[in-house]
Amino acid sequence: MQIVLLGTAAGGGFPQWNCWCPACRTARSDPSRALPRSQSAAAVSADGERWFLLNASPDVHAQVARLPGRAPAGARGSPVEGVVLTDAELDHTLGIVLLREARFLQLAATAAVREILAEDSGLLRVTSAFAEVRIQDLIPGRPAPLAYRDGCPSGLTVTPFPVPAGPPRFARADHPGHTVGLVLRDAATGGVAAFAPGCGGFDPEVEAALGPAELVLFDGTFWHDDELIRLGISDRTARQMDHLPVSGPGGSLERLARLPARTRVYTHINNTNPMLLEDSPERAEVERHGLRVGADGMRFSL
């Protein structure tokens, strides 16, 4: 199983178009000290040619162009076999409508995510006007096999697990399953990876889901719980925004450092997070704990 981090920034990207926080300033003035990053997405493949996107970001076109694979023989073709969703947030789903040129689009999502896409953001209705959209139901705790567009099994399975979080702010209902993490398994290699780009807490269910994974890709949105308050950007804490901060007691760094996983990488990193700066003490602290700060294009094989 191969996994690529296509986009490692949170919503808005890095630098964010309207942001002049210290990290965004550095990303503009000296990108070697703060690599620019596109919005949160990853991709998984069993054969290195046919890929399932893990979320569809507003940067999906540029991200898909960077997927490895052979050029198709015909006039149309794409290495994207389907999209697996962790939630219905805009940074994870606006890319669906940008894939409307596909005649047939496979999505895998929980019932709650499907409902938000259908009823609240309207993305499903808009996309379905252009393409045949088929949705595979994901049920938390149940492994779901990922099949290629031609119906053949990929050998990959995805098992969603619930994570502590509220629904998107435009959702009218708060149904369980609106936000999940994914455990990915490759039957051929036995490889296990976990992907949780949005996670508001580290409860026993999250810990149990991450336990068997040799690769953990985890929510690195904010360094401090009061990061946006300090910068005068918002009056909400990271925890109030359903993102467990990296630092501090009970923070994700302390929790992830104790996991057995060989490789632990932060993704969905907000542009304000000082660990984005290559030479920051925060970056050094992450690495001292044996973790890595994700960057676009990072690849893993398991």
Q: How far is the CB of 165 from Mn ion (least distance, A)?
A: 10
Burial of 130 (0-12, 13-18, 19+ CB in 10 A): middle
Residue number with CB closer to Zn ion (24 or 277) = 24
Residue 241, binding choice from Zn ion, ligand MLT, Mn ion, none, Cβ under 5 to 8 Å by partner class: ligand MLT
Q: How far is the CB of 116 from ligand MLT (least distance, A)?
A: 13
Interface with Mn ion by CB under 5 A: which residues? 10-11, 89, 91
Report which secondary-structure segment, H or E, holds 98.
helix 90-98
Phi first, then psi, for residue 132 (nearest 5°) are -75, 115
Cite the beta strand spans of the chain per DSSP E: 2-7, 41-45, 51-54, 80-84, 104-110, 132-138, 144-147, 153-162, 180-186, 192-196, 215-219, 263-267, 292-293, 299-301
Cα–Cα distance measured from residue 20 to residue 65, given in angstroms and rounded to the nearest whole number? 29
Residue number with CB closer to Mn ion (102 or 199) = 199
Q: How far is the CB of 184 from ligand MLT (least distance, A)?
A: 21
Is there a contact between 63 and 7 (Cβ–Cβ < 8 Å)?
Answer: yes
Q: Draw the binding track, 59-98, toward ligand MLT (x: CB under 6 A; -: no contact).
A: ------------------------------xxx-------
SS3 category, 113? helix
Cα–Cα distance measured from residue 262 to residue 225, given in angstroms and rounded to the nearest whole number? 27
The binder of ligand MLT chosen from 241, 253, 291, 302 (CB under 6 A): 241
The binder of Zn ion chosen from 5, 9, 10, 24 (CB under 5 A): 24
Taking CB under 5 A as the rule, does residue 19 contact Zn ion? yes
SS3 category, 63? helix
Residue 21, binding choice from ligand MLT, Mn ion, Zn ion, none, Cβ under 5 to 8 Å by partner class: Zn ion
Residue 19, binding choice from ligand MLT, Mn ion, Zn ion, none, Cβ under 5 to 8 Å by partner class: Zn ion
Taking CB under 6 A as the rule, does residue 216 contact ligand MLT? no
The binder of ligand MLT chosen from 1, 7, 8, 11 (CB under 6 A): 11
The binder of ligand MLT chosen from 7, 15, 198, 274 (CB under 6 A): 198
Q: Alpha-carbon torsion 211, 215, 220, 223, what sign? A: positive
Taking CB under 6 A as the rule, does residue 227 contact ligand MLT? no
Residue at 136: amino acid letter: Q
Cα–Cα distance measured from residue 121 to residue 185, given in angstroms and rounded to the nearest whole number? 30
Kindly list the residues in this chain that would bind ligand MLT in the complex (CB under 6 A). Answer: 10-11, 89-91, 198, 241-242
Q: Which residues bind Zn ion (CB under 5 A)?
A: 19, 21, 24, 271
